[in-house]
Structure 1
Amino acid sequence: MPRHVLTGTRGAIAVLERSGPRPRYLALLVHGYGEHGGRYAELAGVLEGHGAAVFAPDHVGHGRSEGERVVIEDFEDVVDDVHSAAGLARSVHPGLPGRPGLPLVVIGHSMGGLIAARYAQRHGGRLAALVLSGPVIGDWALPGRLLAHEEIPDVPVSPAALSRDPAVGAAYAADPLVWHGPMKRPTLEAFERTLTRVAEEGDVGRLPVLWLHGDDDRLVPPAGSRVGVERLTAGTHTERIYPGARHEVFHETNRAEVFADVTRFLDRVVPS
């Protein structure tokens, strides 16, 4: 996929692009903690085939972007970087002459769901739709548990918690762009602040929202996310909870079903 480089709030941000010759909408893929946009190549391919120009930024401290590994001091900066990626997408694919710009969809997974939710609160007036996958939103106990320790415990993500497909966990464990060390205090503190901020900043009005979650997600339990999603959408969202699925529904054994749910939702809500 083509790679762009943006000047981010705290260093250079790498952005992958995947698009056909005449896209009908723009999609921003907002990845999760410790990973990178390149892990979503299959989803990007599905969206490209559906008519999207797909842009996937690596957050500060992640993937091929600059910054100390997995340190995010303020998620507002990451929202700003995602907004810069949206500006890049609009400049590369401005749409047809005499017509308004292409509709923009934001798809956020896990930590990326928190970033995407905050993005929608700040810039929702320019969005056509929001998709949240296993989002860190609402009640999530992990930051508080880890911050209670004087030294942050090294509790790496178990690859088996990601998907029932063992190939997904194996690829994750072998990926040199994935962070496999402990979480860092500034990032955990930023998580707590942003969870509170998103809870306090109100709902996103009439913006169409699709919530996807595995019911066997032990990294970000769906019950805690439900609190945040219902608050963010005032209960007007569409949801798909997949029996037996783990944290990464875009990499799950039933991912064809997940992809179909996403494209059907976008067919319904994104202007043609």
Structure 2
Amino acid sequence: MTEHVLTGTRGTLTAHEWPHPRPRYVALLVHGYGEHAGRYQETAGVLGGHGAAVFAPDHMGHGRSAGERVVIEDFEDVVTDVHTVAGLARAAHPELPVVVIGHSMGGLVAARYAQRYGATLAALVLSGPVIGNWALPERLLALDEIPDAPISPGALSRDPATGTAYAADPLVWHGPMKRPTLEAFVRTLETVAGAGGVGPLPLLWLHGDDDRLVPLPGSRGGVERLAPDARTERIYAGARHEVFHETNKAEVFGDLIHFLDGALAS
């Protein structure tokens, strides 16, 4: 992996690249809330083995990028930052198709990216996406003070090693959510819901049916509005929030690669 330092909408933006000597497509990985792109090393390796040159930003306020930790005042800025990283990838590989893979909060960003730039994409993948009806932001905003209740590592995966690594990761945010970010979540959920679908763009939706952080039923309506027709679903029994880190991740990666084969062939 190599790192690039770019000019983002709100300061310096760190973008990670997993290069490939002879890539056949570009994959943009869009990480979730409170984490960073470095947690997707294994996913990037799987994609690289499939022929992808992989690029992934640390969002503003996350990982090695600038900004107050986990503060996002406008998710449109995050979408623009992802587009900046896409520009870096396209400059290196101008003839290759591009797919976007977004997890959790990154699924919200990826969905909005597809609404803004879908004509430039070959496929969209949403993993446990914050989309549709996600009750947490409004519930926290109704309180006078946001509780200092960080994400439980055990909610991420049935694999204890995932939670252990998450809890020990110094680039992961282990504090409370912040009011400007919660307000931005509410606005962007409304924006994505009202901005229409992504047309014929192939979309793969991956979700664990025991996801307690972004419950499956709430995401379903948002995904169906985004892609009422060209949609593939893979719902995993017993899986929690991070399906790429789950005990059945080999199955998940197999489904991802199978979908990408079809999308790239078409």
TM-score normalised by L of structure 2: 0.99
Encode CA deviations 1:102-141: one digit per residue, 9 max, x unaligned: 0000000000000000000000000000000000000000
Task: Report what 1:64 is aligned to.
Answer: 64
Aligned to 2:189: 195
Counterpart for residue 13 of structure 1: 13
Structure 1 stretches of 4+ moved >4 Å: none
Inter-partner Cα distance in structure 1 for 2:93 and 2:48: 13
Letter in 2 for 1:184: K
Is residue 88 of structure 2 the alignment partner of residue 88 of structure 1? yes
| Structure 1 length-normalised TM | 0.97
Q: CA deviation at 1:235?
A: 4.0
Deviation of the 1:236 alpha carbon:
3.0
**CA positional deviation for 1:19:** 2.0
Answering whether residue 8 of structure 2 is matched by residue 22 of structure 1, we say: no
Does residue 128 of structure 1 match 2:122?
yes
- Taking the aligned partners of 2:102 and 2:183, their CA distance within structure 1 comes to 20
Q: Secondary structure at the match of 2:27?
A: strand
Number of residue pairs the alignment of both structures matches = 266
User: What letter matches 1:27 in structure 2?
Assistant: A
State, as a whole percentage, how many aligned pairs show the same letter. Answer: 76
Of 195, 206, 209, which residue of structure 2 is paired with 1:212? 206
Instruction: Decide whether the 8 Å contact of 2:125 with 2:203 is kept in 1.
Output: yes
Structure 1 residue aligned with 2:110 = 116
For structure 2, the residue ranges without an aligned partner over 5 or more in a row are none
SS at match of 1:108: strand
SS for the counterpart of 1:86 is: helix
2:149 & 2:203 partners in 1: Cα distance?
32
Q: Quote the Cα distance in structure 2 between the aligned partners of 1:179 and 1:190.
A: 18
Relative distance call for 1:32 and 1:175 in structure 2 (3 A) is same
Unpaired runs of at least 5, structure 1: 95-100
CA distance in 2, matches of 1:121, 1:137: 13
State the partner residue of 2:245.
Answer: 251
Q: In the aligned structure 2, how far is the partner of 1:271 from the partner of 1:39?
A: 29
Task: Assess if the C-alpha contact under 8 Å between 1:103 and 1:271 holds in 2.
Answer: no
Amino acid at match of 1:18: W
Q: Per the alignment, in what secondary structure is the counterpart of residue 225 of structure 2?
A: helix
1:205, distance to aligned residue in structure 2 (A)? 0.2
Partner of 1:181: 175
Q: CA RMSD in A?
A: 0.8
Deviation digits for residues 148-181 of structure 1 (CA, Å, limit 9, x no counterpart): 0111111210000000000000000000000000
